[in-house]
Amino acid sequence: MPEPTAQRATNAIEIKGLNKWFGPFQALKDVDLTVAHGERIVVCGPSGSGKSTLIRCVNSLEAHDSGTITVDGTRMGNAASIEAIRAEVGMVFQQFNLFPHLTILENLTLGPMKARGLSRAEAEARAMKYLERVRIPEQADKKSGALSGGQQQRVAIARSLCMEPRIMLFDEPTSALDPEMIAEVLDVIVDLATSGMTMIVVTHEMGFARRAADRMVFMDHGAIVETGTPQEFFEAPKTERCRTFLNQILRH
Amino acid sequence: MSTRLFLTLACLTLLAGCGNSGVWGWYVIDPTTPTGMSNIRFLLNGFGATIVLSLTAAALSMTLGLMVALPGMSTNRWIRMPSRIYIEFIRAIPLLPMLFWVFYGLPVVLQSMGITLRIDAFWGAVITLAISDSAFTAEIYRSGIQSIARGQTEAAKTIGLTYSQTMRYVILPQAIRRILPPLANQFIYIVKMSAFASVIGMQELTRRANELVVTEYRPLEIYTLLILEYLVLVLIISFFVRWLERKMGADESR
């Protein structure tokens, strides 16, 4: 559980009336979502339901068309506010997006050195700390191409952690992985979750959701259809659409 | 197959001159005679000017091209538009008319604005080649940079890098290996197009060949040598670029 401090905003993330269009296609419809400090949210739903778009709006990788996003008290608007929000929010992508021309260590030190002004020694110490945390310090001098998918995703998580964010967003972190590598990545995310990090995870891994989520969010056609604790959500889904979805993905 | 046929024909054509058929007169550039030797020296002395002209124009073109390409990829259309207009406009101007305009016209324009600037043949040619070529290098940069997956830029944003940091540390180092081969192509093109500088009086390879032809009346031999001079230059560049590509490729797979 998070330690509430006086100067911190009440909620980590507040999203109100969020709308987003891609041309004529409405990707998000009046989305409201409040995430408390330390809360772990798992977002699921059929593909094209707006899950990824929603979390990409939170750190402004996508610009929204109407509604408000407030992250840790900072209301998203001008470039300065976006910069401030990105400093608080780490993100892990489906395709890892490591920088292939740099070594693992350089991937991790680039942000701290260039964006935060840390010295090389400080940045490298921090990088090694987080590489240990994701359990691959021995790969520091390799390039990302030499690593397995699971290792690459763990490096990507460590790269985000090096910026010491308060909130982490995971955009289908295991969808591009071979099945035998999913566990090693989920273990790292669960470990992070138990340390009190605020996180929103878009995933189809329902076992992980049961283990780690405080709250489930089910989206369909750009809207939040249902939210609830994992127990409510899996045992007694309230809507027909949610039941159908769960039947489809839990059947096998 | 057709390459071998062509080479055979080319060799036969050249060898034909070694007989007494009277078509070829290699004496004009025969290194064993004093006149031939001084003619050869006169022609080869153009190398320096051609090389300096090409290198200066290429360096300017590559810098200018990047400055045009970067705003051309903005999501803001008002930033993007000047870049597009520049590329479309410059690309449409043939090199020779542009050279005349810069050499004879630009000083007049500058004069009317109160700037007295004499543009000599060298700078006239450099400016023309650089500007004309920059429209093409800009497109090469654009395609190279856009070939780097969008996820790279997004990852850079999430770790707090600014636009210029993202370009410098993430995108350009990756794009450069894709940009290099077409950029080398463009450099070869500049070397060849530098021949146009001869018409505004610059003493480079082609100008010297022309001058010698006027006094010696042996265009066939002199222009053959001229072509070989460019061939040697271009082969050296190709060789150097191959080496550079290999070096960068080796570094990547470390």
DSSP characters for B177-215? HHHHHHHHHHHHHHHHHGGGGGGGT--SHHHHHHHHHHH
Q: Choose among B98, B97, B102, B133: nearest CA to B117.
A: B102
pLDDT of residue A157: 97
Q: What is the DSSP letter of B20?
A: S
Closest chain B residue to A160, measured at CA: B159
CB-CB: which of A61, A101, A159 is closest to B159?
A159
| Mean of the per-residue pLDDT values of chain A | 92
Nearest-CA distance B244 → chain A (Å)? 17
Q: Are A115 and B161 inside 8 Å of each other by CB?
A: yes
**Rounded CA gap, B172 and B159, in Å?**
17
Across-strand partners of A169?
A: A91, A200
Q: Is the pLDDT of residue B3 over 70?
A: no
Q: What residue type is assigned to position A153 of the chain?
A: Q
Lowest-confidence region among A25-29, A121-125, A212-216, B216-220: B216-220
Q: Are A111 and B160 inside 8 Å of each other by CB?
A: yes
Pairing of β A167-171 and β A198-202: parallel
pLDDT of residue B177: 84
Please indicate whether residue B105 or residue B247 has the higher confidence score (pLDDT). Answer: B105
Cβ neighbours of A115 in B, within 8 Å? 159-162, 165
Give the pLDDT band (50/70/90) at residue A249. Answer: confident
Cβ neighbours of B152 in A, within 8 Å? 97, 99
pLDDT of residue B117: 83
pLDDT digits 0-9 by tens, B195-248: 999 999 999 999 999 999 999 898 999 999 999 999 999 999 999 988 888 887
Across-strand partners of B216?
A: none
CB-CB: which of A59, A87, A99 is closest to B170?
A99
Contact between residue B30 and residue B18 where contact means Cβ atoms under 8 Å apart:
no
Q: Is the pLDDT of residue A111 over 50?
A: yes
Q: Is A101 on the interface with B (CB under 8 A)?
A: yes
- Residue A202 has phi, psi (to 5 degrees) of -90, 120
Chosen for mutation from A108, A114, A168 (greatest number of chain B CBs closer than 10 Å) is A114
Say what the pTM is: 0.80
Q: Where are the alpha helices (DSSP H) in chain B?
A: 2-16, 34-44, 46-72, 77-91, 95-100, 106-112, 121-146, 150-158, 163-165, 172-193, 205-216, 219-252
Q: Is the pLDDT of residue A60 over 70?
A: yes
Nearest-CA distance B168 → chain A (Å)? 11
Contact between residue A19 and residue A39 where contact means Cβ atoms under 8 Å apart:
no
ipTM for the whole complex: 0.90
Q: Is the pLDDT of residue B254 over 60?
A: no
CB-CB: which of A61, A100, A163 is closest to B159?
A163
Give the pLDDT band (50/70/90) at residue A10. Answer: confident
State the DSSP H helix or E strand holding residue A74, giving kind and residue range, or none if neither: strand A74-75
Residues near B123 by beta carbon (within 8 Å), at least 6 away in sequence: none
Q: What residue type is assigned to position B179 of the chain?
A: I
State the DSSP H helix or E strand holding residue A154, giving kind and residue range, or none if neither: helix A149-161
Closest chain A residue to B155, measured at CA: A97
Q: Is A114 on the interface with B (CB under 8 A)?
A: yes
Q: What is the DSSP letter of A64?
A: -
Residues near A103 by beta carbon (within 8 Å), at least 6 away in sequence: A140, A141, A142, A143
Q: Is the pLDDT of residue A104 over 70?
A: yes
SS3 B35: helix
Nearest-CA distance A247 → chain B (Å)? 33
Give the pLDDT band (50/70/90) at residue B115. Answer: confident
Q: State the helix-helix crossing angle for B46-72 and B205-216, rounded to 10 degrees.
A: 140
The terminus-to-terminus CA distance of chain B in angstroms comes to 39
User: What is the token pair recorded at A60?
Assistant: 């402004």
Strand A198-202: give its sheet, edge to edge: A89-92, A167-171, A198-202, A40-44, A215-220, A223-228
State the DSSP H helix or E strand holding residue A84, giving kind and residue range, or none if neither: helix A79-88
pLDDT digits 0-9 by tens, A162-203: 999 999 999 999 999 999 999 999 999 999 999 999 999 999
Residues near A116 by beta carbon (within 8 Å), at least 6 away in sequence: A163, B160
- Residue B232's CB is within 10 A of a number of other CB atoms, namely 11
Average pLDDT of span B32-61? 92
